[in-house]
Amino acid sequence: MKAPVSLRAIPVAGVSHAPESGPGPGSWLRERAWLLDLLVVIGVFLYNLPIIPMYVDNAATAIWLLVVSAALCAPYLLRRRHPRAVLGVMLAAACLQLLFGVPILAADAMRLFAVDNVATRCLWWVSLTGALLTVGWLLVAVVPHLGDDVIDVGQLGVLVVVTLWVWTWGTLVRIRRQYIEGLRERAEQAERERETNARIAVADERARITREIHDIVSHSLSVVVVMSDGAAAKVDTEPARAKSAMLGVRDTGRTALAEMRRMLGVLRDDEPGSQAPQPGLAQLDALVEQSRAAGMPVALNVDGKQAPLSQGAELTVYRVVQEALTNVRKHAGPAVTNVEVTVRCRPEEVEVHVVDDGHGAAPDVKSGAGGHGLVGMRERVTIHGGTFTAGTRAGGGFKVVAVLPREEGAD
């Protein structure tokens, strides 16, 4: 039998048990990343201002280049929401810059930031297209002016390499982010699976406890009712037998309370008796004797050597017999004259038969009418890989048969 699950040890979904920690040292800056973007935009724009007069000699063109510089810098503030649009606007402004005969400005460096931003946020082929367009613009703008003391071939090569390196770096950052996000999702999924498994374990444990309580209560109460009726009928004519019956009621009640206390003890780790041994084959004699004391003609036959079974299998055999005897008391009627409990122990399996010759209304095997006893017996046997059948006999009465295979390592 599997160890009981402590219901108190199951974590509550949605509640974190990790210690709360305050914000990290970089959280303030991460929450205000726009401030860093603003500083970059202002710094590049102000650095670009003194360079504009070097290319023009009239105020009108200088004003237009100032507007172009603003168009190269200001869109960067929207890079998180519209990364592709920001790079597109910067490339359009750079093309407009060429109309004024200016090959390159300090503000053109903003396109490197835009390429990196697109590479970290978009698919690789989208970001690669933006990087190639930036390199193409650079070649169109600079190559015609290579002999004009603007920029030499070596510097042009450096700019091309830097642009491609920026794209590569941004792509690697995006891949790393996706990898970390994948790890986070798998961790969350694993946590959800753990919570689900914990809930399933709790549900299984509650179902097991419910079956145990059902078997204990239904059997013990039926014995108590039968013996109480007998005591009430004999109290005037045979007071000694009535007293004996009431003592049997007392003992049955005490036994039931002890078993209930043991079962409910699994709900509390420190409950005394929660680790008490479960009933098994050795307790079948006492179970049958209890039914005899209640007036039921029960005979117990054990065939074969009682080789050790697993604790769970022995408990299942005990509960099947217990529930079958309870059903006999409930449904067999007053005309029952013989109830046979047979346990056949074989090397590979254990077979349990409970047969009666009563003529009362048998419980409905298919619908489970009359309670959950048959359903509970079938579930118990199925859990251990066995087979369970129950039904009326041709000559009258009811028959319950359970076959449980021996589990490896039970000996």
Helix (H, G, I), strand (E, B) or coil at 24: coil
pLDDT of residue 276: 54
Q: Based on the number of CB atoms within 10 Å of its own CB, is 224 exposed (0-12), middle (13-18) or buried (19 or more)?
A: middle
pLDDT of residue 2: 41
Residue 344 pairs with which residues in a beta bridge? 303, 351
Q: Based on the number of CB atoms within 10 Å of its own CB, is 263 exposed (0-12), middle (13-18) or buried (19 or more)?
A: buried
Q: Where would I find the beta strands (DSSP E) of 271-397?
A: 298-303, 339-345, 349-356, 387-392
pLDDT of residue 5: 39
Global confidence as pTM:
0.50
- Half-sphere exposure in the Cβ direction for 122 (13 Å, CA): 24
pLDDT of residue 198: 83
pLDDT of residue 10: 38
pLDDT per residue rounded down to tens, the chain (411 residues):
344 434 344 343 333 334 444 445 556 666 777 888 899 999 999 998 888 888 777 888 888 889 999 999 999 999 999 999 999 999 999 999 888 878 888 899 999 999 999 999 999 999 999 999 999 999 998 888 776 766 788 888 999 999 999 999 999 999 999 999 999 999 999 999 988 888 887 777 677 767 777 666 666 777 777 777 777 777 778 787 777 778 777 777 777 777 666 666 655 544 444 455 678 888 888 888 888 877 788 999 988 776 667 777 888 888 889 888 888 888 877 778 889 999 998 888 899 999 998 876 656 554 444 446 787 788 888 878 889 999 888 878 899 999 998 865 454
* Four-CA torsion 359, 360, 366, 370, nearest 10 degrees: -160
Q: Which domains does the chain have, with CATH numbers?
A: 29-151 (no CATH), 297-411 (3.30.565.10)
pLDDT of residue 18: 41
Angle (CA) 366-368-374 rounded to 5° is 100
Angle (CA) 167-173-179 rounded to 5° is 140
User: What CA–CA distances, in Å, run from 229 to 213, 233, 287, 295?
Assistant: 24, 6, 20, 11
pLDDT of residue 29: 63
Residue given tokens 């346990």 in the structure block: 343
Give the β-pairing of 339-345 and 298-303.
Answer: parallel
For CA atoms 111, 112, 113, 116, the dihedral sign is positive
Query: Is 354 in contact with 399 (CB distance < 8 Å)?
Result: yes
| Nearest CA-CA partner of 283 in 314, 253, 241 | 314
Query: Is 277 in contact with 374 (CB distance < 8 Å)?
Result: no
